[in-house]
Amino acid sequence: MKQVFFFMLFSLVGLIFLSFLPYQAPKICKELKPIKTLVIDAGHGGKDPGALGNGYKEKDITLKIALELKRIVNENLPNIKVVMTRSTDKFIELSKRGEIAQDNKADFFVSIHCNSIPKGTKSPNGTEIYVLGTNPGQERYETSIKENEVVAFEDNYKEMYGGFDPKSPEGGIYHNLMKNAYRTESLKLAGKIDKQFKERAGRKSYGVKQAPFIVLWQSGVPAVLIETGYISDKAEANFLGSVDGQEIMASGIYRAIKEYNQELTK
């Protein structure tokens, strides 16, 4: 009974909290539509290196995969307009990444990341694809906290994000309470990316998950966040740090986008 009471209390607080945020939820999308404008988001950048492991920085790997994805899409899907949140080693606030998606009237937002765990701990390996939301009883707070901590690099982030505490699981409550208008589209593409990674790229996969990522929430459009692997695992770090590995991961995302569009234009 206490758990129900506290959940209702947190829900009420979260809803009140949302009313003060400078963000308006997007309108509900009534039907699926092909991707005509794609925003590719290379996670982290500039003063924010992201995850570190085995001599690699997340910001470098994500940028290379993002640029390769842009090249492949431009070359093979010329009907899709590609917009990058960053094309160089530059720091971009999470709110600005969302603005880029909304200003360009994006049909989809794809955010590329790498995972890592602290040094001295045996590292897992494998991919994870996220959409905005939660898995009841299976919340991936560790990953979302880690990726959301980038807001601490921003000036006045507490004011910008309504007092959000990136180090607290409870900081994601207001994200969890907000209805994701684009859940169907996001899950559809996420599933296709996951399948490509497993079946075509031969990568170990932890599947499609849900978590309260600020960058997905701020985009205001259908969106996925891709953890391409663990750079804390030496073999996977070397794979993601290689040209071949970056091409393989970018190709998997491209094939998923191509299949997504093909199914919606039949």
- Which CATH architecture group holds 32-264? 3-Layer(aba) Sandwich (3.40)
Residue 119, pLDDT score: 84
Distant-in-sequence, close-in-space partners of 19: CB < 8 Å, separation ≥ 6:
none
Mean pLDDT of 24-29: 42
- Segment 79-106, tens digit of pLDDT: 999 999 999 999 999 889 999 999 999 9
Work out the end-to-end distance of the chain between its first and last CA atoms, rounded to an integer number of angstroms.
51
pLDDT band, residue 135 (cuts 50/70/90): low
98-121: average pLDDT? 94
pTM of model > 0.85: no
Residue 17's CB: how many other CB atoms inside 10 A?
Answer: 16
Residue 169 has pLDDT above 90, yes or no: no
Lowest mean pLDDT, pick from 27-36, 54-63, 103-112, 240-249:
27-36
Q: In percent, how much of the chain has pLDDT > 90? A: 61
What pLDDT is stored for residue 165 in this prediction?
53
Q: Letter for the amino acid at 236? A: E
Average pLDDT over residues 125-143: 72
**Position 185 confidence tier, pLDDT thresholds 50, 70, 90:** very high
Q: What b/e readout covers 134-166, taking b as 16+ CB neighbours within 10 angstroms?
A: beeeebbbebbbbbbebbeebeebeebbeebbb
Say yes or no to pLDDT of 9 above 50.
no
Higher confidence at residue 169 or residue 21? 169
CA distance 190 to 207: 9
Q: What is the mean pLDDT of residues 238-249?
A: 98
Domain residues of the chain, as ranges?
32-264
How many angstroms separate the CA atoms of 2 and 4, rounded? 5
